[in-house]
Amino acid sequence: RCLRLGVTMAKSKFEYVRDFEADDTCLPHCWVVVRLDGRNFHRFAEKHNFAKPNDSRALQLMTKCAQTVMEELEDIVIAYGQSDEYSFVFRRKSNWFKRRASKFMTLVASQFASSYVFYWRDYFEDQPLLYPPGFDGRVVLYPSNQTLKDYLSWRQADCHINNLYNTVFWALIQQSGLTPVQAQERLKGTLAGDKNEILFSQFHINYNDEPQMYRKGTVLVWQKVDEVRTQEVRLPAEMEGEKMTVTRTRTRPVPLYCDLIGDAFWKEHPDILTGEN
Q: Measured between alpha carbons, how far is 10 from 8 in angstroms, rounded to an integer?
A: 7
Q: Euclidean distance between the first and final Cα of the chain, in Å?
A: 30
Q: Measured between alpha carbons, how far is 44 from 113 in angstroms, rounded to an integer?
A: 14
CB of 222 to its own copies, least distance (A): 20
The H or E element spanning position 64 is helix 56-72
Using CB under 8 A as the binding rule, whether residue 128 contacts its own copies is answered as: no
Q: Measured between alpha carbons, how far is 116 from 69 in angstroms, rounded to an integer?
A: 11
Q: Measured between alpha carbons, how far is 90 from 29 in angstroms, rounded to an integer?
A: 11
CB of 253 to its own copies, least distance (A): 16
CB-wise, 188 or 204, nearer to its own copies? Answer: 188
CB of 212 to its own copies, least distance (A): 18
| Sheet order of strands, 243-256 included | 135-142, 31-38, 85-90, 76-82, 218-232, 243-256
Q: Report the DSSP beta bridge partners of residue 252.
A: 223
Rg (CA), the chain: 23
Tell me how many residues contact its own copies (CB under 8 A).
90
Residues 64-83 that bind its own copies (CB under 8 A): 68, 72-73, 83
Interface residue with its own copies among 88, 112, 207, 265 (CB under 8 A) is: 112
Mark 6-45 with x for binding to its own copies (rule: CB under 8 A) and - for no binding: -x-xx-x-xxxxxxxxxx-x-xxxx-----xxxxxxxxxx
Interface residue with its own copies among 57, 66, 79, 84 (CB under 8 A) is: 84
Q: Measured between alpha carbons, how far is 180 from 7 in angstroms, rounded to an integer?
A: 62
CB of 134 to its own copies, least distance (A): 4
Using CB under 8 A as the binding rule, whether residue 179 contacts its own copies is answered as: no
Spacing of C-alpha 117 from chain mean position: 15
Interface residue with its own copies among 127, 153, 223, 277 (CB under 8 A) is: 153
CB of 242 to its own copies, least distance (A): 27
CB of 199 to its own copies, least distance (A): 17
Q: Among residues 262, 27, 25, which one has the least CA distance to residue 142?
A: 27
From residue 123, alpha-carbon distances to 43, 79, 129, 163 in Å are 19, 20, 11, 22
In this structure, the strands spanning 135-142 and 85-90 are unpaired
Using CB under 8 A as the binding rule, whether residue 60 contacts its own copies is answered as: no
CB-wise, 35 or 269, nearer to its own copies? Answer: 35
Using CB under 8 A as the binding rule, whether residue 127 contacts its own copies is answered as: no
Using CB under 8 A as the binding rule, whether residue 182 contacts its own copies is answered as: no
Interface residue with its own copies among 51, 56, 117, 233 (CB under 8 A) is: 117
Residues 258-277 that bind its own copies (CB under 8 A): none
Q: Judged by CB under 8 A, which stretch of 97-105, 199-207, 215-223, 239-247 contacts its own copies?
A: 97-105
Q: Measured between alpha carbons, how far is 120 from 199 in angstroms, rounded to an integer?
A: 33
